[in-house]
Amino acid sequence: QVQLVESGGGLVQAGGSLRLACAASGRTFSNYAMGWFRQAPGKERGFVATISWTGVTKTYADSVKGRFTISRDNAKNTVYLQMNSLKPEDTAVYYCAADGVPFRSATIQPASWGQGTQVTVSS
């Protein structure tokens, strides 16, 4: 059983920044890749970023490269998403997810999801 709780969402003007956090509980958090996904109204949930179990390998969707940064602090069982230069099209509910297979670097097949946190970017 894994529980993920996101926080840090809110309302921000275009060009602003937010830092999302996902606190995880469960066994061997440090052995699993983590990811962030987002879902806008009427859209499918899409990939945003992943981070390997080591924290070394990171991947990003093209739409957020250079603006978003994923990181993790295994001592705190927490993964972060720093979002800079936010655009209105970034508006969505953001979800963190834990991989279902340990020791992966980039590929992620989420087995656990958080409840989501709303990010709204105004123009």
Give the model confidence (pLDDT) of 75-91 as tens digits: 899 999 999 999 999 99
Residue 58's DSSP bridge partners are 51
> Pairing relation of β-strands 117-122 and 10-13?
parallel
How many Å apart are CA 89 and CA 108, to the nearest integer? 24
Span 53-68, pLDDT tens digits:
989 999 999 999 999 9
The pLDDT of residue 1 is: 60
Q: Specify whether the CB–CB gap between 34 and 22 falls below 8 A.
A: yes
**18-39, pLDDT tens digit by residue?**
999 999 987 678 889 999 999 9
Q: What is residue 90's predicted lDDT score, i.e. its pLDDT?
A: 98
Summarize the confidence of residues 89-97 as an average pLDDT: 97
